[in-house]
Amino acid sequence: MSTVIELGTPNEKQDLFLRDTHRHVGFGGARGGGKSWAVRTKAVLLASKYPEISQMIVRKSFPELEANHIAPFRKLLGIGRPGCPFKFNESKKIIRFPNGSTIRFAYCDRDSDTDRYQGTEVDVLYLDEATQLSEQQIHDLNACVRGTNPKFPLRTYYTCNPGGKGHAYIKRLFVDRQYVGKEKPEQYSYIQSLVYDNKVLMEAHPEYVDELENLPEARRRAWLYGDWDSFVGQVFVEWRDDSNHYQDRRWTHVIDDFPVDASWKIYRSFDFGYAKPFSVGWYAVDHSNRIYRIREYYGCTGEPNVGLMITPQEIAKTIREIESTDPNLKGKTIAGIADPAIWDKSHGESIAEMMEQERIYFSPGDHARLAGKMQFHYRLAFDSMGIPMFYCFKSCRHFIRTIPILIYDEKKVEDIDTTLEDHIYDEARYLFMEHPLNPRKDIQKQMPADDPLNQWTTPRTTRGGIYA
């Protein structure tokens, strides 16, 4: 006897998601896009179509998992009712279908939580609110997608909103479409789904859009329009990278590189790292006390937040080589500023002493964290003409990559989350504290009230095939 499951009717974007057969499928980008429904529906369709297929749905915390999936699945499948063919193992958190297919539920709060799933093997993985997971968690969980039945699809579905620890990684893959190593562009697709696409929600709760529209600008842009350059928890909401203004230098922090005026002072700032990346930044300060980041040397393997594991002497040799060849640095007097920790001698010769052997010298920087963060805000603030007190050369790609994605610590709510890639931030902070500014109010360029070409809200979609 067959069982009828009332799944409902997908909207246009959900339909694209259900039809998509790429190895990696991103879906969402804003609040109210119908992501959780799409995940549950896809899981039921695959479980019904492929006997003995194994699937796993992951959220950051168990309460989220219970509220968004386990409880709705119980209701959808009628689990617990007399004669229900679907069985739920309460201890293992697994739903078993009559044909032997399974849906497992998992949560990952800390990076170490993925250790619980090292032996888990699934055919299809759903990372619901994937940006709330770290890149390391996402990699570890994807290692579970290794089913051996050639008849089953091997896929990972990512639902996502801007913000969270995985923001930069998800944005790179699905929004910017920039791939590294063995990542294959043809394996990735992204379907943007906004609240406006969710007709059921719009009809049932039309006031929900009003609530989103009344949010502060950063949240409104992220939650309503799916703006990946603005997200909840972002520390430096002032940050702008607008290539249309690289030359006129208005309403952007990133600008074209240029030959630095010979009369400007040059500084070198340093944050040491071994297993984690180190960061060296060179800065020019003009006669108005405006700071320009003009060169960088970032000790990263290419994998985010993984250091080169080279000695202080090796770092110093490269610094000396850069300063003897770069046209903006060659022959200049360069003042060095660094994390005071490099003078620590508790384990023998200090890092500062090792670098001095290569004739690279530093003075201790001011390590005050909150004061340094505020100097960052003051530097990034725009005046009424769209001019900030800090610019970054477009060639400094690691600064451009890491600063916008920094988020607040969940416990130290006024400080940066130091588990993220904050090394360039720390290094720049020492320099900014060396040239403190008085508080400045940030004046933001406003989103246009009239958007006839839908330049702020045009969704990104992908073409799909049949439900499979």
Could you name the CATH architecture of 12-197?
3-Layer(aba) Sandwich (3.40)
Closest CA to 273 of 316, 306, 244: 306
- Residue 302's pLDDT is 81
Give me the pLDDT at residue 3, please: 73
Extract the residue ranges of the chain whose pLDDT is less than 50: 449, 452-466
With CA atoms as reference, report the closest residue to 456 among 193, 189, 170, 221.
221
The pLDDT, as a whole number, for residue 461 is 33
Task: State the pLDDT at residue 314.
Answer: 98
Q: Where are the domains of the chain?
A: 12-197, 243-434
**C-alpha pair distances (Å), 432 with each of 93, 295, 368, 437:** 50, 16, 11, 8
d(CA 117, CA 177): 29
- Asked if 209 and 195 count as a contact pair (C-beta separation under 8 A), the reply is yes
pLDDT at 62: 93
Query: For every residue of the chain, which 3-state class applies, written as one string?
Result: CCCCCCCCCCCHHHHHHHHCCCCEEEEEECCCCCHHHHHHHHHHHHHHHCCCCEEEEEECCHHHHHHHHHHHHHHHHCCCCCCCCCEEECCCCEEECCCCCEEEEEECCCHHHHHHHCCCCECEEEECCHHHCCHHHHHHHHCCECCCCCCCCCEEEEEECCCCCCHHHHHHHHHCCCCCCCCCHHHEEEEEECHHHCHHHHHHCCHHHHHHHCCCHHHHHHHCCCCCCCCCCECCCCCCCCHHHCCCCCCCCEECCCCCCCCCEEEEEEECCCCCCCEEEEEEECCCCCEEEEEEEECECCCCCCECCCCHHHHHHHHHHHHHHCCCCCCCCEEEEECHHHHCCCCCCCHHHHHHCCCCCCEECCCCHHHHHHHHHHHHCCCCCCCCCEEEECCCHHHHHHHHHCEECCCCCCCECCCCCCHHHHHHHHHHHHCCCCCCCCCCCCCCCCCCCCCCCCCCCCCCCCCC
Q: What is the dihedral of CA 136, 140, 141, 142, to 10 degrees?
A: 100
Asked if residues 374 and 305 have their Cβ atoms less than 8 Å apart, the reply is: no
Q: Which residues contact 353 (CB under 8 A, 6 or more apart)?
A: 345
Q: Which of 49, 24, 66, 191 is nearest to 57 (CA)?
A: 66
The confidence score (pLDDT) of residue 234 equals 85
N- to C-terminal Cα separation, the chain: 24
pLDDT value of residue 420: 87
Q: Do the bridges between strand 291-298 and strand 188-193 make them parallel or antiparallel, or are there none, so unpaired?
A: unpaired
Separation CA 267–CA 363 (nearest Å):
11
pLDDT of residue 231: 74
Report pTM. 0.74
Distance (Å, whole) CA 145 – CA 25: 14
What is the Cα–Cα distance from 404 to 227, expressed in whole angstroms?
Answer: 13
CATH of domain 243-434: 3.30.420.280
Per-residue model confidence (pLDDT) at position 318: 98
